[in-house]
Amino acid sequence: MIFKVFAIYFYDIIIYMMKINQNIFRSYDIRGVYPSELNEDAAYEIAKAFCFLHPYAQKIVLARDSRLSSPYLADSMIKAFLEEGKEVMNLGIAPDPLFYFSIMHYGFGGGIMISGSHNPKEYNGLTINVRKPQSRQPQDLIGKDLSAIKDIVLRGGEKDRNGIHRGKVLDFDPAQAYVDYVTGKVQLERPLKIILDSGNGACGYLPEKVFKALGCEVETLFADFDGTFPNHLPDPYVAENRKAIEEAVLAKKADLGFMYDSDGDRVAIIDNRGRAVDGDLSLLILASQALEKKTGPVVHCMRASKAFIDEMEKKGAKTYFSISHHNAVIDKILETGAVFGGEITFHFLFPLDYYLCDDAVFASLEFAQAASKHNDFASYVDSLPRYFASPEIFIESKDEEKFKIIQNLQEYLRENNYNFIDIDGARINFEHGWALARASNTTPIIKCRFEGDTEENLKAIEKEALEIFQKAGLPITEQVCQQLGLASS
């Protein structure tokens, strides 16, 4: 009889785990295709687990991007929060800048942002944040506990729940308070003419309001919310998505352009010649500006150029590698006391000036402040040091396999005495450059990048690195070689 009871219990758990796809739980957030991977059932259980782990968090901020699936996930989470007696501070469609500002500025208990970020429109995701109890310091306001939430959800949820009192939903709009706050943090040396591209995502007209408050002349492309993303995918890191704003900056003779992703945590800058400033140079511009205010450490991702690292050292700043995710960068900033942190994928953090969150609208203000010091911003960009880098190469790999493949690569490099950094993937150091392979946190791919101090050394590093990757078990296809202009081995 006892065996039968346990058999039924474990059968129920297995069935439940099949219902909730465990692959939606990434290293730092939740991401999956709607509804096959991330759906209303999962959203409901995740909200329940959040409440169980953080009973002290009474006021919960809920925001969503413009994706078609976001309202359905929001409704499920609101249902769970109301059953647990929570007050839902409902922002509706709102970007990360307003989401994070609401938690940090007003001291609410925590929140969940519903967004697939830069992923294609069939994806959606959840970013979970919680304010640490009794904390009064801005850098202590956000905590992460995804592993605990995952454990609760996959074992069928907690049965002992607070379903006695019903909560309430409050419509909350912090936009004007946000505009007033962030515009008080920067000073432009001259008014600028700016083109913005919200990509039909959650930023909408918010960046325009911010820049107009600073006296800038502003025009916004694709500001209306539309989860089908009819004009381009909401990923500013991909060159083809930036064509419209690059053309508009040139046509309008603007000083700058800014393009945001769907939830407003990443921004690409377009110079006055209609060219996107790449991630390494963006890091260099912003880090250099931070160092003008205070000398201190700088945190960067594994893909950052050696030219950036060398320039930071010339300016007296110690540099630190970080895992490629804004939460990891935040942790490293706190650990090192850094004055700036960022990733080449257009995530930026400003501990000297703002709350520790990757707010793309605030980042564009920092860019504008730097650009306002130059009559010809493009000439300044051209003067910055740079090495020769490949485009980022994507190797398809299943979510359940990609991290094991990278682990095998690290073991191979250790066994063969290669000089490499293993903080996030494997960055192999060569005499004249480096090569990196790392598993994506959000999609089923392995990302590779290569850099050399000359074009000839870059090609040599690409060839040598691919041979190493192949020996270590990475699936190097003919297509990968063709992307780099190399013959397949």
Q: What positions carry a catalytic annotation?
A: 117
Q: Are 469 and 437 in contact (CB under 8 A)?
A: yes
How many angstroms separate the first and last alpha carbons of the chain? 61
Tokens of 286: 């912003």
Return the amino acid letter for 192: L
Instruction: Report the candidate in 69, 136, 129, 66 with the shortest Cα–Cα distance to residue 103.
Output: 129
CA pair distance 349, 299, nearest whole angstrom: 9
Instruction: Report the candidate in 302, 308, 309 with the shortest Cα–Cα distance to residue 324.
Output: 302
Instruction: Report the candidate in 138, 77, 85, 63 with the shortest Cα–Cα distance to residue 107.
Output: 138
Instruction: Report the candidate in 153, 127, 123, 143 with the shortest Cα–Cα distance to residue 44.
Output: 153
Q: Are 435 and 457 in contact (CB under 8 A)?
A: no
Beta strands in 232-351 (DSSP E): 256-260, 267-270, 298-301, 319-322, 340-343, 347-349
CA pair distance 461, 444, nearest whole angstrom: 25
Q: Are 186 and 69 in contact (CB under 8 A)?
A: no
Contacts of 470 (CB under 8 A, 6+ apart): 476, 489
CA pair distance 336, 354, nearest whole angstrom: 17
